[in-house]
A and B are shown apart, each in its own frame.
Chain A
Amino acid sequence: QSVLTQPPSVSGAPGLRVTISCTGSGSNIGAGFDVHWYQHLPGTAPKLLIYGSNNRPSGVPDRFSGSKSGMSASLAIIGLQAEDEADYYCQSYDSSLTAVVFGGGTKLTVL
Chain B
Amino acid sequence: EVELVESGGGLVQPGGYLRLSCAASGFSFSNYWMSWVRQPPGKGLEWLGNIKEDGSATNSVDSVKGRFTISRDNVKKSLNLQMNSLRGEDTAVYYCAREIPGQHVALDYWGQGTLVTVSS
Residues of A within 8 A of B (CB): 2, 33-34, 36, 38, 40, 44-48, 51-52, 57, 89, 91, 93, 97-105
Contact between B104 and A45 (Cβ–Cβ < 8 Å)? no
From the candidates B35, B45, B50, B108, name the one contacting A48 in the complex (CB within 8 A).
B108
Map CB proximity to A onto B87-120 as digits: 1 under 8 Å, 0 otherwise. 0000000010100100111111011110000000
From the candidates B46, B104, B108, name the one contacting A93 in the complex (CB within 8 A).
B104
Q: How many residues of B contact A (CB 8 A)?
A: 23
The number of residue pairs between A and B whose CB atoms lie closer than 8 Å in the complex comes to: 64
Contacts of A97 in B (CB 8 A): 61-62
Contact between B106 and A45 (Cβ–Cβ < 8 Å)? no
Q: A51-B106, A91-B47, A91-B106 are in contact. List 12 more A-B contacts (CB 8 A).
A: A34-B104, A36-B106, A46-B45, A46-B110, A52-B106, A89-B45, A93-B104, A97-B62, A99-B47, A100-B35, A103-B44, A104-B44
Cα–Cα distance between A104 and B100 once the two chains are bound (Å) = 22
Contact between A100 and B105 (Cβ–Cβ < 8 Å)? yes
Residue among B45, B59, B104 with the most chain A CB within 10 A? Answer: B45
Contacts of B62 in A (CB 8 A): 97, 99
Cα–Cα distance between A33 and B106 once the two chains are bound (Å) = 11
Given the interface pairs A102-B44, A102-B45, A103-B44, the reply to whether A44 lies near B112 with Cβ below 8 Å is: yes
